[in-house]
Structure 1
Amino acid sequence: MATGTTYYLQLPYTYSLPLLVTSGTLHWLISQSIFLARISIYNDGVNSDQDDYSEVGYSCTPILCVVLLGTAMLVFALGMGCRKFASSMPVAGSCSVALAAACHPPKRDEDASFLPVRWGEVADASGEEDEVRHCSFTSGEVQAMTPGRLYAGSRQDVATPSDLRQLTKHPVVPLWASLRPRSISSSSARSTSDLINVGCNTSQPLYSLYDIMAKSTKDHWSAEKYSSAADFVPKLTTTVLSYLDVQPGDHILDIGCGDGQLTVQIAASASSGKVLGLDASQSFISTAQQKHNSQNCEFELHDCTHLAQYPDAVNGSWDKVFSNAALHWILRNPDTRVNVFRDAHKALKSGGKLVFEMGGKGNVAEVQAAFTAALMHAGLSIEAAREAKPWFFPSVEWMSTTLSEVGFEVEKCELEYRPTKCSAENADGSGGLVGWLRLMGAQFLEAVGEGKREAVLREVCEILETVVTREEDGSKWLGYTRLRAVARKQ
């Protein structure tokens, strides 16, 4: 669906009134700078009309004032144009439906143009709860946006992201499908009404577009399917656990704890300490809470891209912050990528350690290439196919630099190529290569309509067949590349 939109810009009074005054002054000065003068000649006190003539005159003082005032106005306009809007509200550049999703003013807010406003999730005028919410600038109260929730320009039935592609009339559009995250400058604020007041109060810290809609309302994860498709994950942790070096009294924060299998193992070693596991998947956290009952180990549902929003997570009380096989998901959003490490640094005591293992540069490169090709064959552009990738696999150089920039002393940062054997395939399709692709590549598949997903999956399997299969026994191995790091808070 290709749509276009026209933006009508209206400046808030805090900027428009000073600009009107200075603009009027500038025009008056120009009128005094260059003017038409009539020169009359008198001879012995007698005017001779035939000798009178007109001439263009000028005055140096007003001209100098025009240059100074005009330069000041130009510098002011350019300076305001480079000034970023405090809340980093996303900008819709080419989709009017997405613009409606970001600027849906509530009713009974007619005087908002005269008041300071802020941007965020606005309540429905009827007071009814709706699964599809709205966002806007408003002079009233707003709430922080919630990851995994649909935001749209009009009330209607909820549709899944795949269904949204089929809608053509006033669809419910997830913001991530039509926008690209970037900062908005005060001079480029866009509005469909006179509601916007740049230089306004802001709400709580806002989520970027990746955070708002990078996930559908469905939890992609299933603890049961994960244990079938990737049962090797908690088993291949000998190296990273040796780097963690758990001591009995350690207080450890586990970022992206999954189903808690490895977390509770760590808690057993920290017998007189405390371990907290955080994960954004309700399925994982529910499984962890049900299966693992330990006095010194807790599991809580939380999106670790915003670690600072969890109470007591970044209070400098943790001896160690740990993560295994999760950061390549958590770091997907480039806007929050560095903040994850900055929050981890704040969480640690002085001298505390950050220890993690994740996918590194080149991890499952064959899978990424196969999915990209299959999605392009299904009708996506190469840009859209690349954007569907749910992971971020950094290099050693990027990771070392980032950790150092946020204040860590990097003790170890290494990359290991570790081909990993797929689990056995189950009758229900939850294991093996297919099960791995369905679970780990769910966002790739959701980039196309539901009717095309099986065809995409088959094509990916066909591409990978000769690449990942070992001739001697028919087993399938994926090209895992692991990035491990140990960094200490100075």
Structure 2
Amino acid sequence: MSEWSSGEIYESYVGRWSRLVAAEFVAWLDQPNGQRWLDVGCGTGALTSTILRTADPASVLGVDPSAGFVEYARKTVTDERASFEVRSAAELPDGPYDAAVAGLVLNFIPERVEALRRMREIGSTVAVYVWDYSDGMELMRYFFDAMIEVRPQDREQDEGLRFAFCTAHGLEGLFSESGFTTVDLREIVVPTEFASFDDYWQPFLGGQGVAPAYLRALGESDQLALREAVRSRLPIEADGTIRLKAKAWAAKAVS
């Protein structure tokens, strides 16, 4: 299984939390009804479905390089205004679109400045959101802080280091480099609550995403050591509940 292929596993890991951020993100964009939207890196359809539910669009085209994600989105997002295509960010359609958006995908696009420039060419409003990997995305932060303790030699795997631009300052710089003169930024924080440690840990075993793929590549003893290191750090309440927060940064600009 590749790092990004199963929609069901992705949903249990981070997709469900993305949907909470998407609702605040779309409301913040405050686009008129009847717009044409492009959802770049649509994944399982979290952002697309939010646009359909809350923004009354004329149409939404979701594109993603993962055929598995596109298949999942087609099955679960049945609104006739939505369509999905297997495309990478380097193969975006001509448009034009009233809004070109991307949720939780910019850090996985190798040529992200070029992608933003292309979104600027075809979209009147361009907007993105990314997790704050270095600070506010707590469910991942606990994992990588424990990883650094258990296997300091793997420090470079930390998403906070790999995706250091996923901050307000980093996004502003990317938008500026892509040709935008004015960028609006916003912090979005949502709750991520788990019923138990197993509820928290099970999605990491699915191999979908950077941390789960890293975990899967470890030997059994290292996996167990990391599991216990994470458990010892988490704020587990008396009834087993774990209440964390997930912070994302959003940026928008008019082309």
Which string of whole-angstrom CA distances, capped at 9 and with x for unpartnered residues, describes residues 170-193 of structure 1? xxxxxxxxxxxxxxxxxxxxxxxx
TM (norm. structure 2) is: 0.80
Question: Hey, what does 1:72 align to over in structure 2?
Answer: none
Q: Distance in 2 between matches of 1:252 and 1:229?
A: 26
Question: 1:423 Cα deviation (Å)?
Answer: 6.1
CA separation of 1:327/1:271 partners in 2, compared to 1, >3 Å: closer, same or farther? Answer: same
- Equivalent residue in structure 1 for 2:215, among 432, 445, 450: 445
Question: 1:396 Cα deviation (Å)?
Answer: 1.3
Question: 1:263 Cα deviation (Å)?
Answer: 0.8
Question: 1:408 Cα deviation (Å)?
Answer: 1.6
Question: 1:402 Cα deviation (Å)?
Answer: 1.9
Larger relative helix fraction:
2
Bigger relative contact order (CA 8 A; separation at least 6): 2
Equivalent residues in 2 for 1:141-290, closer than 5 Å: 218=2, 220-230=4-14, 231-269=16-54, 271=56, 273-290=58-75
- Equivalent residue in structure 2 for 1:297, among 79, 82, 97: 82
Q: Distance in 2 between matches of 1:237 and 1:269?
A: 10
Contact 1:325/1:359 (<8 A) preserved: yes
Could you list the runs of 5+ residues in structure 1 that have no partner in the other structure? 1-216, 426-430
- Equivalent residue in structure 1 for 2:141, among 362, 365, 369: 365
Which string of whole-angstrom CA distances, capped at 9 and with x for unpartnered residues, describes residues 280-303 of structure 1? 222221111123233321111223
3-state DSSP of counterpart to 1:415 = strand
Contact 2:3/2:213 (<8 A) preserved: no
CA separation of 1:355/1:236 partners in 2, compared to 1, >3 Å: closer, same or farther? Answer: same
3-state DSSP of counterpart to 1:229 = helix
Contact 1:229/1:422 (<8 A) preserved: no
3-state DSSP of counterpart to 1:485 = strand
- Equivalent residue in structure 2 for 1:480, among 246, 249, 253: 246
Question: Hey, what does 1:355 align to over in structure 2?
Answer: 127
Question: Hey, what does 1:61 align to over in structure 2?
Answer: none
TM (norm. structure 1) is: 0.45
- Equivalent residue in structure 2 for 1:346, among 98, 121, 135: 121
Contact 1:468/1:477 (<8 A) preserved: no
Could you list the runs of 5+ residues in structure 2 that have no partner in the other structure? none
Query: Aligned partner of 2:118: which letter?
Result: D
Compute the RMSD of aligned alpha carbons: 2.9
Which string of whole-angstrom CA distances, capped at 9 and with x for unpartnered residues, describes residues 398-438 of structure 1? 2112212222243421335555223667xxxxx72212323
Question: Hey, what does 1:310 align to over in structure 2?
Answer: 92
Which string of whole-angstrom CA distances, capped at 9 and with x for unpartnered residues, describes residues 84-114 of structure 1? xxxxxxxxxxxxxxxxxxxxxxxxxxxxxxx
Larger relative strand fraction:
2
Q: Distance in 2 between matches of 1:282 and 1:483?
A: 27
Question: 1:467 Cα deviation (Å)?
Answer: 2.3
Q: Distance in 1 between matches of 2:253 and 2:36?
A: 16
Question: Hey, what does 1:432 align to over in structure 2?
Answer: 199
Question: Hey, what does 2:224 align to over in structure 1?
Answer: 458
Q: Distance in 2 between matches of 1:468 and 1:410?
A: 39
